[in-house]
Structure 1
Amino acid sequence: MNTRLLRYFVKLVETENFTHAAKQLHIAQPALSVAIKKLEQHLDVPLFHRNERKVTLTDEGKVLLEHARLILQQIDDATIAMAELKGLEKGEVKLGVPSMLGSYLFPEILMGFKSQYPNLKLTIIEAGTQSIRQMLLAGELDLGVIHNEAVPERLETTHLITSQMVAVVSEAHHLAAQPVMKFDDFFKEELVMFKAGYFHREFIDDVCHKYHFTPKISFETNLLPMMLNIVRHNFSISALLELVTEHEKGVIAIPFEEPVYLNIAMAWRKNGYLSLADRAFLAFVKEYRSC
């Protein structure tokens, strides 16, 4: 099977439109249509449902997509590996980091790594752990920081940090003097939360499911500075990693009565190729955390 046809197929899946896909592939639309038809004839199955506005995958196309992405990723990995045998480096680390860790744990790590390897490029993608997992599996990220629970079988992990999840209130809040926060008290308050997909939100959803709480979410945002300002001004309370509250004024961290600790890990694809740059970054992070 021609890998060029697989690349055309994946691009059409991503754009859902022949015109847009052809433009991104820098080929004429009729040429793309012919190529996709050739792929369908070769496999003897229809891959797309076609209409005027967009195309969608058939059941057969969905099966091919999973294999096509894996094949193309392995080809890209092999290309990088061969280049490095000639003494070249990929020169880039694509890293997915959740907002809390990106703001408080990683700046020093990234600056330290850049000082040691000034010629390497760091591309940081801020996203929730669920999105990071999916991007790792799809080959869109080299490395990602995720909650080290329910990790997909295709990912490898190494422990990064353990941090306590704490309730966060303003200094003027009526619960600010409490030594510990009961879940009953926490869920009676108005809450400001990250959107679904972040480990902070996963924690809240898990507690609600376990103890049958219904959270009163007044604000939902992925912007950590906004979240902290809402708490400071006493409009809502939240739950964040303790490492965040250690660096912020105007908020009080209160441990939960039932302590909650989250294990955070660095992850990558088990069967994926880690470039010299990726391996250097992993080694640097491990050394940094051991200091």
Structure 2
Amino acid sequence: MDSRKLQYFVEVAASCSFTKAAEKLLVAQPAISKAIQKLEEELQLKLFDRSDKSVVLTSEGNVLLAYAQSILGQFDEARREMEELRRLERGEIRIGLPSIIGSSSFAPLLKEFKKLHPKLAITVIEEGNDHIRHLIACKEIDFGILLGSNEDAELMVVPLLTDEAVACVAEDHPLSNRRSVTMEKLLEEPLILFKEDELQLNIFLEASQESGIAPNIAFTTNQFALLRSLVAEGMGASILLRTTSSTDEGLRTVPLSPPVPVQLGIGYRRNYQLPQACAAFIDFLQRKINERKHVLPLIPRREVYPATSEPLTSLRLPFC
């Protein structure tokens, strides 16, 4: 039993005529008669009474008619929804962002994309880098912007661009006018850190081991906006990415000496077919980067994206 036979069956039942059904469907009458005959043979039941001049449903045919109409209606609904998904008029995007990037910094980019595709639902989860990797593996999000390019058996990471970790202090902080600052000097300051940001913690722990200076952690928070506000109020220093902090009012960014480059990548499950809406968002993100005259190959939609180790040039993110 297939949808074509059911369509012919429903139209013959509605028209009470093989000829009229053929005319409406623009199909030769013998083709419709043959399809109904095969359907009756398949079910081993008579669906139409052909004894009179008109064609009338049998009792068995009446039972099938209700099911056929329901099935064809579901086919039509499925086609409509698939068309909406193809045209990006329906769908959901679930994105993970590391705390050090912050969803508030991502907001202008999301706003611009939403204008292009207003019917798409977008969920942004802000967590630590390792937890985002876990959420991707557990299928709780579709993809995430990750720090670093480490892959594993379940995760692929496509390099996006190279950023730089910088010290962040208040505008009137003694370090604010320096051309650069060492990690040893920064360790002498009260520190404001994210609770679950592996990048910040690892940078400070490595510097602490090398210098023998224990970090003075004054505040921890999971909120990107609160961390920036505390720094701007002079409550302490922190480390953020240059692209998400260099334009913040009340903050000054100071390059670290030596520099600390940070690779940003797009992480997703290995061998995972990204939904059309997610592929569209990734294409949009890379187009925004290309507009900054940064040459990156666009990720093709509906493809499994290969990893690459080619170095990328530092660039200001399009959402800053």
Give 1 or 2 for the bigger CA radius of gyration: 2
| Equivalent position of 2:141 in the other structure | 141
Letter in 2 for 1:271: N
User: Structure 2: how far apart are the matches of 1:206 and 1:140?
Assistant: 32
8 Å Cα contact 2:196-2:222 kept in structure 1? no
Q: How far did residue 198 of structure 1 move?
A: 4.3
Q: 1:84 to 1:147 in 2, by over 3 A?
A: farther
User: Structure 1: how far apart are the matches of 2:195 and 2:79?
Assistant: 40
- Structure 1 stretch displaced more, 260-269 or 95-104: 95-104
Aligned residues: 210
8 Å Cα contact 1:157-1:265 kept in structure 2? yes
User: Structure 2: how far apart are the matches of 1:138 and 1:231?
Assistant: 34
After superposition, residues 22-171 of structure 1 pair within 5 angstroms as: 86-87=82-83, 89=85, 91-103=91-103, 105-171=105-171
| Equivalent position of 1:195 in the other structure | 195
Q: Over aligned residues, Cα RMSD in angstroms?
A: 2.4
User: Structure 1: how far apart are the matches of 2:119 and 2:243?
Assistant: 31
Q: How far did residue 83 of structure 1 move?
A: 8.3
SS at match of 1:101: coil
| Equivalent position of 1:184 in the other structure | 184
8 Å Cα contact 1:142-1:268 kept in structure 2? yes
User: Structure 1: how far apart are the matches of 2:234 and 2:274?
Assistant: 46
Q: 1:231 to 1:84 in 2, by over 3 A?
A: same
User: Structure 1: how far apart are the matches of 2:224 and 2:102?
Assistant: 10
SS at match of 2:239: strand
Deviations 1:15-58 (A, max 9, x none): xxxxxxxxxxxxxxxxxxxxxxxxxxxxxxxxxxxxxxxxxxxx
User: Structure 2: how far apart are the matches of 1:173 and 1:212?
Assistant: 24
| Equivalent position of 1:256 in the other structure | 256
8 Å Cα contact 2:100-2:197 kept in structure 1? no
Q: 1:101 to 1:196 in 2, by over 3 A?
A: closer
Normalising by structure 1, we get a TM-score of 0.65
Identity value in percent = 26
8 Å Cα contact 1:191-1:215 kept in structure 2? yes
User: Structure 1: how far apart are the matches of 2:242 and 2:267?
Assistant: 22
Gaps of 5+ in 1: 1-81
| Equivalent position of 2:172 in the other structure | 172
| Equivalent position of 1:215 in the other structure | 215
User: Structure 2: how far apart are the matches of 1:130 and 1:91?
Assistant: 27
State whether structure 2 residue 265 is matched by structure 1 residue 270.
Answer: no
SS at match of 2:101: helix
Letter in 2 for 1:106: F
User: Structure 2: how far apart are the matches of 1:212 and 1:83?
Assistant: 65
Q: 1:120 to 1:238 in 2, by over 3 A?
A: same
User: Structure 1: how far apart are the matches of 2:110 and 2:220?
Assistant: 28
Q: 1:236 to 1:96 in 2, by over 3 A?
A: same
8 Å Cα contact 1:187-1:213 kept in structure 2? yes
Deviations 1:130-164 (A, max 9, x none): 11000001111101111124333321222223221
Letter in 2 for 1:101: I
Deviations 1:57-112 (A, max 9, x none): xxxxxxxxxxxxxxxxxxxxxxxxx9899545361011111234344552222122
| Equivalent position of 2:40 in the other structure | none
- Structure 1 stretch displaced more, 99-108 or 249-258: 99-108
Q: 1:185 to 1:284 in 2, by over 3 A?
A: same
Q: How far did residue 217 of structure 1 move?
A: 0.4
Pick the structure with more helix per residue.
Answer: 1
Q: 1:211 to 1:149 in 2, by over 3 A?
A: farther
User: Structure 2: how far apart are the matches of 1:202 and 1:84?
Assistant: 50
User: Structure 1: how far apart are the matches of 2:81 and 2:222?
Assistant: 41
Q: How far did residue 187 of structure 1 move?
A: 0.7
Q: How far did residue 261 of structure 1 move?
A: 1.2
Q: How far did residue 122 of structure 1 move?
A: 0.7
User: Structure 2: how far apart are the matches of 1:145 and 1:155?
Assistant: 12
8 Å Cα contact 1:131-1:197 kept in structure 2? no
SS at match of 2:181: coil
8 Å Cα contact 1:98-1:198 kept in structure 2? no
Q: 1:86 to 1:180 in 2, by over 3 A?
A: closer
8 Å Cα contact 2:142-2:278 kept in structure 1? yes
